[in-house]
């Protein structure tokens, strides 16, 4: 098969067009496209392809602002193909310092000739020639919020929501860290190996590893590409999971031979971790509303060798009378706005709207109330999200406690180093711990 030469930018353009016109998830589409071209492009080209797509998407608001500054055509009237060519070209000029501007302009013009009409190439050429690497330093803003919005490429409504809970400097840091590539963490599967053995095996394969302070059996890895095809991954010696997500399993603290309910289980990272910590003894009922998502739980459990998990289709927003007071521990890792994982899922900041926050908190409230009814007296309920908003986190739990006096908080605030909350709960922010933004609360149901 003939290798593709010098058209990584064309592949990137096609992926960007697909994402922007079909509202697809960037990480899923990119992974699928890279797999499609796997045998046609080399490792170096894959890295550039990933950088072009993610970089352009990361700074979409910034790039569009720059385009609107120089274009005499309204943004809505620019062809989607030409708009993405401009975005990708400007991204390279401003953010990538190893590619000559002349090469970027020439390649962008060639793409415009292929994907636009006759005048398109001239339009692209005229705009890109005006852009300089220090372009962002020349911009003038009406206020600090506009500046943060445009320079970090976050919608203004989102900044206003964050500003209602955080000071302006914290908001700036949150947004800046959302644009930094997230570190990769893996969880050691102690059913098959231990952290020392896995470290040795990875290092023998020239893979850098680093232990995570305060969180057991988690390693940060820096140079392992194509993880899912790694031999040790396939054999189930580890799985990919952010450090904060592994902390959820530790907080649940399930014991061997207990009965556990994971009410929102898919894709199964926390479920399998709980099974691992139970030493594969007992029972875990893993629920999700969709069967195809439960298949992900089954696949992960099989690879890791966790055989105490039973999957069950279930709508967590509706009360399941068969579950009432049946479980020693219940995990409600609820759907959320995802504002703590934007750096992993950059689409979130563009696809979410302020109304979504109201909708999601209603869902969370229903799930939390239902989940609480499934806990045995003296049993444990753990609530977790991957968002950083109080309305989805602390406020949700405080409201629940006011209406459910038979539950009380277990203080877990000292479990996480540099915890953003001084008492009761756990909250992380990427710019403080360099983990995903996360919230965890642990409650106990009083006896009787």
- For residue 310, the SS3 value is strand
The answer to whether the beta carbons of residues 128 and 89 sit under 8 Å apart is: yes
User: Omega into 267 within 30° of 0, i.e. cis?
Assistant: yes
Encode burial over 322-354: b for 16+ CB neighbours within 10 A, e otherwise: ebeebbbbbbbbbbbbbbbbbbbbbbbbbebee
The answer to whether the beta carbons of residues 322 and 285 sit under 8 Å apart is: no
Between strands 238-240 and 209-211, the pairing is unpaired
Q: Is 24 exposed, middle or buried (0-12, 13-18, 19+ CB in 10 A)?
A: middle
Is residue 287 annotated as a catalytic residue, yes or no? no
Name the phi and psi angles at 334, rounded to 5. -80, 155
Catalytic option among 264, 287, 336, 386: 386
d(CA 305, CA 308): 9
> Torsion-angle region of residue 257: left (phi > 0), alpha (psi -120 to 50) or beta?
left
The answer to whether the beta carbons of residues 198 and 214 sit under 8 Å apart is: no
Catalytic residue ranges: 386
């Amino acid at each position: 098969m003939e290798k593709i030469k010098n058209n990584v930018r064309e592949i990137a353009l096609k992926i960007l067009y697909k994402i922007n016109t079909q509202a697809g998830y960037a990480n899923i589409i990119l992974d699928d496209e890279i797999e499609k071209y796997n045998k046609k492009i080399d490792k170096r080209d894959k890295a550039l392809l990933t950088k072009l797509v993610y970089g352009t998407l990361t700074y979409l608001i910034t790039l569009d602002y720059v385009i609107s500054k120089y274009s005499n055509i309204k943004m809505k009237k620019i062809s989607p193909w030409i708009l993405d060519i401009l975005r990708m070209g400007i991204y390279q000029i401003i953010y990538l310092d190893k590619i000559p501007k002349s090469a970027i302009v020439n390649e962008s013009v060639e793409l415009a000739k292929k994907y636009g009409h006759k005048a398109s190439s001239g339009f692209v050429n005229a705009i890109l020639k005006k852009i300089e690497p220090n372009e962002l330093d020349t911009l003038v803003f009406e206020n600090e919020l506009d500046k943060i919005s445009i320079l970090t490429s976050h919608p203004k409504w989102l900044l206003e929501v964050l500003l209602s809970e955080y000071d302006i400097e914290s908001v700036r840091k949150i947004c800046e860290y959302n644009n930094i590539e997230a570190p990769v963490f893996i969880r050691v599967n102690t059913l098959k190996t231990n952290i020392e053995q896995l470290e040795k095996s990875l290092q023998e394969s020239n893979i850098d590893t680093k232990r995570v302070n305060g969180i057991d059996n988690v390693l940060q890895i820096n140079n392992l590409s194509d993880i899912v095809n790694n031999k040790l991954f396939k054999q189930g010696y580890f799985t990919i999971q952010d450090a904060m997500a592994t902390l959820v399993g530790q907080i649940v603290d399930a014991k061997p031979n207990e009965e556990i309910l994971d009410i929102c289980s898919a894709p199964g990272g926390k479920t399998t971790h709980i099974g691992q910590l139970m030493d594969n003894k007992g029972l875990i009922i893993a629920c999700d509303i969709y069967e195809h998502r439960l298949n992900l739980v089954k696949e992960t459990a099989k690879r890791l060798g966790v055989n105490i998990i039973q999957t069950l289709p279930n709508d967590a927003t509706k009360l399941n009378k068969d579950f009432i007071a049946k479980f020693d521990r219940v995990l409600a890792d609820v759907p959320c706005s995802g504002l703590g994982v934007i750096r992993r899922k950059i689409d979130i900041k563009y696809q979410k709207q302020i109304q979504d926050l109201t909708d999601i908190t209603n869902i969370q409230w229903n799930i939390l109330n239902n989940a609480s009814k499934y806990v045995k007296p003296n049993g444990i309920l753990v609530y977790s999200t991957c968002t950083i908003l109080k309305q989805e986190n602390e406020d949700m739990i405080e409201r629940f406690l006011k209406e459910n006096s038979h539950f009380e908080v277990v203080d877990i605030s000292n479990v996480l180093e540099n915890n953003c909350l001084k008492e009761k709960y756990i909250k992380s922010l990427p710019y403080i711990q360099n983990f995903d933004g996360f919230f965890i609360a642990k409650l106990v149901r009083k006896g009787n």
